Amino acid sequence: MPELPEVETVRRGLEALVKDKIVKKVVVRYSKMVSPEAPVFTKELENKKILDVRRRGKYLLIDFSGNYTMVSHLRMEGKYSVVARDEAYGKHDHVIFELDDGSDLRYNDTRKFGRMNLVTTGEEFQIGGLKTIGPEPQPETLTLEYLTQQLRSRKRGMKSFLLDQSMIAGLGNIYADEVLWLSKIHPQQISNSLTDDEIALLRESIFEELQLAIEAKGTTVFSYLNADGHAGSFQNQLHVYHRQGLPCHRCGTLIERIKVAQRGTHFCPHCQVLR
Ligand SMILES: [Zn+2]
């Protein structure tokens, strides 16, 4: 599933490729993917200009003229691409935005889990998980005071805390594992047992990890591609994710994989000791 660095990379790609273009027509080939219902969705977007492409957590927010915002969540396998109009539709191209320059913005989703909600601009934060979403993982928004308070007031395993989008926006399975390794915290360590130093290191690790991953244009695990058709390369910089049985980059101990909160979880049993 695309996490913050992958969605941010898609956002940057879309901003470069479709911002300021006008949607001439929308074709919906899988009607459950859009809201409101397809005839309304397509009609409302006709002749609207793409004003901006924003991101909040793992959500893309595309602003159109006429005071519309489309909330797009890629879920497991969603991908956008910009192609020439005469290119044949792919089997999994479900929503097509025909643009005024002769190109198509196409949304492809092999598993059909992605969703697009068109709302009045300003109402996007009433949609799904955006209603309760936690702060963006940046120094100005994810303050040390906030993080300390949230951790200390809960008895939650750290992996599940980091995956909770209402605590911090944007982390998923890959970056939660990586951040815990960087911070030398066991995935099942209870949140209210962290020391001040651990909390400070955790916070810095979150910023550092996401920054590096965005610079590498995200991690390509299965079939994720940026809007410009290129794969991210951060998989070459991962320390624990999908490295079970391989030596820890810090101490040489073999990385282990366990299940935590139903998710495959990777950690170094020497660097990340459960207290
Ligand atoms: Zn280690």
Q: Which domains does the chain carry?
A: 4-131 (3.20.190.10), 144-267 (1.10.8.50)
Number of Cβ within a 10 Å radius of residue 37: 11
Looking at residue 247, what DSSP letter applies?
B
pLDDT for residue 225: 53
Cβ within 8 Å of residue 207, ≥6 positions away: 137, 138, 139, 142
Q: Which of 12, 49, 112, 263 is catalytic?
A: 263
- 204 is known as an active-site residue: no
Q: Which of 3, 6, 98, 178 is catalytic?
A: 3
Centre of ligand 1 from the C-alpha of residue 213, in Å = 21
- 187 is known as an active-site residue: no
pLDDT for residue 231: 75
Centre of ligand 1 from the C-alpha of residue 245, in Å = 12
Rounded to whole angstroms, the Cα distance separating 22 from 50 reads: 6
Distances (CA, A) of 85 to 97, 104, 181, 243: 10, 5, 45, 41
Per-residue pLDDT of the chain (275 residues; tens, 9 = 90+): 899 999 999 999 999 999 999 999 999 999 999 999 999 999 999 999 999 999 999 999 999 999 999 999 999 889 999 999 999 999 999 999 999 999 999 999 999 999 999 999 999 999 989 999 999 999 999 999 999 999 999 999 999 999 999 999 999 999 999 999 999 999 999 999 999 999 999 999 999 999 999 999 898 765 445 566 667 889 889 999 999 999 999 999 999 999 998 999 999 999 999 99
Number of Cβ within a 10 Å radius of residue 197: 9
pLDDT for residue 228: 62
Structure token pair of residue 55: 């991101």
Q: Which of 11, 48, 58, 217 is catalytic?
A: 58
Centre of ligand 1 from the C-alpha of residue 249, in Å = 7
Centre of ligand 1 from the C-alpha of residue 248, in Å = 5
In degrees and rounded to multiples of 5, residue 174 shows phi and psi of -70, -55
**Residue 233: half-sphere exposure toward Cβ, Cα within 13 Å:** 3
CA 78 from centroid of its chain's CA atoms? 11
- 85 is known as an active-site residue: no
Centre of ligand 1 from the C-alpha of residue 201, in Å = 16
Order of strands, sheet of 22-28, starting from the edge strand that comes earlier in the sequence: 34-35, 115-120, 68-73, 59-64, 48-56, 22-28, 93-99, 103-108, 79-84
pLDDT for residue 1: 82
Centre of ligand 1 from the C-alpha of residue 109, in Å = 37
Picking from 125, 126, 5, 121, the residue whose alpha carbon sits closest to that of residue 74 is 5
Structure token pair of residue 155: 């008895």
Structure token pair of residue 194: 């962290």
- 2 is known as an active-site residue: yes
Cβ within 8 Å of residue 36, ≥6 positions away: 44, 118
Centre of ligand 1 from the C-alpha of residue 272, in Å = 7
Q: At what angle do helices 144-152 and 196-215 cross, to 10 degrees?
A: 120
